[in-house]
Chain A
């Protein structure tokens, strides 16, 4: 995908078709991402069923307020991304870049809070599998934290990738590389960020609330 507004790839007959193809490719990619997490969610569901009380207890031990704040932060960052796309569609590149930068900032807040939480777990020996030294007897606690670290870790990795993607697009927006007629990369980067946000909306109740 070239960022040049005029850069229509040689094998497309029109920019509309190219954007249509890019959008479709992105949605298909997002489908694979959903399925990647689905495997972990399914595993979580199975073990929650097998170790109901241990999982409930481990979940109660989490800092729910931190998860809540993080949820708020991520949802808000999706709002600024949506506003940024709107600005790009009006040809306001700098405004779009600023809004995307705000989203990156909120992504950083999210990661910082997550790091504080992780530190908390390390201190209390709430580690996955064979490293588990928490207070929950049996295998439930260690399995909960194995899944906890897998799911939140994979999600955090996606947040990092999302911030990078938003950053690249924001810099290009700032330099005026997009226009009202061609800003597909802004939209696609936004889609990815919304997905990262959406996955967290499933992760939060699953791990913290239920």
Chain B
């Protein structure tokens, strides 16, 4: 281990991945370094998030009054479609795996790079190409189908649905390449001393994500291609007028897109398992349970797609089976939640910004997860189908949980990635804005949905007005929170204090190397004698010590 890790003033690593081998734009665009590729993904995903967030604000502004507010109905349809497409395909799916995963996973397994660095760079350019194709579609009229592209409407709409479908198709390949790289890296490039049960939990969860990315994405790719072919040439695969079956599209679409929900939430859980240990100063409670439950979610996630088709003419028997299988996901998630809470128990908790977001995450995951179990109940879903209740549910998971995890990861790893610390006070202020803004945006939507307000409608009766105003107000607070985050992080980039190798005192392997890390991650590859979440040196002595302490208290 390098001597400067443990003592003395924090050091900004002189030779690091940011200035080696060069600093110019060209050296970034042609880099094969997983850290730089990760950073480029993060920047691109953040830009996508800003675009998607802008669309979200337009939606909320339009819904400020019951009638037309700032746009007409057709424009509204396009805006919510673009919001969904951008947030899901350009932000949620790549943000944590391709961004933080790319940066952290190879370091966490003690490798110098991912297994296939050139494929990794290709993945980034494929992402950019997909984004450009989709953006072209958006600029030239957009689409009004919703991000789900349900047939037969999507095959007959006059809007520019084909470029957006092709964009999503291309983006899928980026996702596949990254997932493939992570699986092979985890299998073949672990350093000596890192056995499977000494892998950081982040790696386990990203690994589970990668399995879904590899197995589900090709089916979506094919499906979107079929819709595009049908829209362009009228081949009739999903068109009832030509004998096609539109419900088949729904099956195909959700076969990918439901597991895709776990592509979004598993990486969030990955981050959270790291953060809860680092800021509770305790080993994870139930390492294997947390690790295997990720694989459990990935596995069961493939057999739950039918819960999107409860009202699409599926047999009640099928619906029941899919409902029960969907609830199994709740069990695996609960295993994680209980273990995280047990990890905090009697820990030495420090409420730094990443941990604040963890607490927010825990509450929102609980809310989103429990309403998910409720929605998986067929009889209840009939009432809530296509209402704002569903919208609120999946925003609690996607925004409430994944967004919190993204922000938590951003703050937790900011010192590692940039070598500098952000202003903790502003971090806390922004966290309050984001968390409260989130609650005010989406809690009213549960109530609206339960009262029967359908999703994707441009206008609504006056009795829904007050709650919609509350939701829009919350969205504004949320937006202010994000702007604050952006500002102080950008300031920290230049003016932040030097972080040093391990400002949080974390045991994670990524903190064993200087900040920012050198080109091949470690100056000397450490021996990895200690586990990634091991905060007490003699774990076997810990129960006895705890018992003695308990006796003392009594």
Contacts and interface: CB of A to CB of B under 8 A. Distances in A.
Contact of A28 (B183, B226, B230, B235): B183
Contacts of B119: 25
A131 B229 CA distance: 13
B346 interface: no
B226 to A, nearest CB: 7
Given A25-B180, A39-B218, A39-B222, A128 B236 contact: yes
Interface string B197-225: 00000000000000000111111011100
Contacts of A12: 188-189
A7 to B, nearest CB: 13
Contacts of A42: 252
A28 B244 contact: no
Nearest to A36: B218
B112 to A, nearest CB: 4
A33 B188 contact: no
B233 A129 contact: yes
Contacts of A21: 115-116, 184, 187-189
Given A17-B188, A46-B248, A25 B115 contact: yes
Given A140-B243, A142-B242, A28 B115 contact: no
A129 B235 contact: yes
B248 A43 contact: yes
Contacts of A9: 117
Given A28-B180, A129-B236, A33 B222 contact: no
B189 A11 contact: yes
Interface string A37-57: 011101100110011000000
A150 B234 CA distance: 13
Contact of A43 (B188, B237, B243, B520): B237
Contacts of B230: 129
B263 to A, nearest CB: 15
Interface string A99-117: 0000000000000000000
B278 interface: no
B180 A38 contact: no
A31 interface: yes
Contacts of A139: 236, 242-244
Nearest to A130: B234
Contacts of A119: none
Nearest to A54: B243
B184 A25 contact: yes
Contacts of B239: 129
A15 to B, nearest CB: 12
Given A35-B215, A35-B218, A129-B236, A25 B243 contact: no
Interface string A11-38: 1100001001100110011011101101
Contacts of A29: 180
A143 interface: yes
Q: Interface residues of B toward A: which range?
A: 35 or more
Given A11-B189, A21-B115, A150 B226 contact: yes
A25 B218 contact: no
A23 to B, nearest CB: 9
A107 B529 CA distance: 54
Given A11-B111, A142-B242, A24 B218 contact: no
B245 interface: yes
Given A11-B189, A140-B243, A25 B222 contact: no
A146 B237 contact: yes
Interface residues of A, number: 37
Interface string A128-150: 11110000001110110011001
Contacts of B222: 36, 39-40
Contacts of B116: 21, 25
B206 to A, nearest CB: 15
A25 B177 CA distance: 10
Contacts of A38: 218-219
B390 interface: no
Contacts of B117: 9, 11
B97 to A, nearest CB: 15
A39 B219 contact: yes
Nearest to B236: A129
Q: Which of B226, B236, B239 has the most CB of A within 10 A?
A: B236
A46 B116 CA distance: 38
Q: Which of A20, A32, A142, A146 has the most CB of B within 10 A?
A: A32
A206 to B, nearest CB: 16
A130 B242 contact: yes
B186 to A, nearest CB: 10
A36 B220 CA distance: 8
Interface string B517-536: 00010000000000000000
B245 A46 contact: yes
Contacts of A10: 112-113, 520
B112 A142 contact: no
Contacts of B214: 28, 31-32
Contacts of A17: 188-189
Contacts of A39: 218-219, 222-223, 226, 252
B85 interface: no
A128 B176 CA distance: 30
Given A11-B111, A35-B219, A24 B236 contact: no
A12 B111 CA distance: 9
Contacts of B252: 39, 42-43
Contacts of A43: 226, 237, 248, 252
B244 to A, nearest CB: 7
A32 B176 contact: yes
Given A11-B113, A35-B218, A130-B234, A20 B188 contact: yes
Q: Which of B181, B189, B235, B520 has the most CB of A within 10 A?
A: B235
A20 B113 CA distance: 16
Nearest to B117: A11
8 contacts: A11-B117, A11-B189, A28-B180, A31-B215, A129-B239, A142-B236, A143-B243, A147-B237
**Which 3 residue pairs of A and B lie closest in terms of their CB atoms, listed nearest first?**
A139-B243, A129-B235, A39-B222
Interface of A: 9-12, 17, 20-21, 24-25, 28-29, 31-33, 35-36, 38-40, 42-43, 46-47, 50-51, 128-131, 138-140, 142-143, 146-147, 150
Interface of B: 111-113, 115-117, 119, 176, 180-181, 183-184, 187-189, 214-219, 221-223, 226, 229-230, 233-237, 239, 242-245, 248, 252, 520
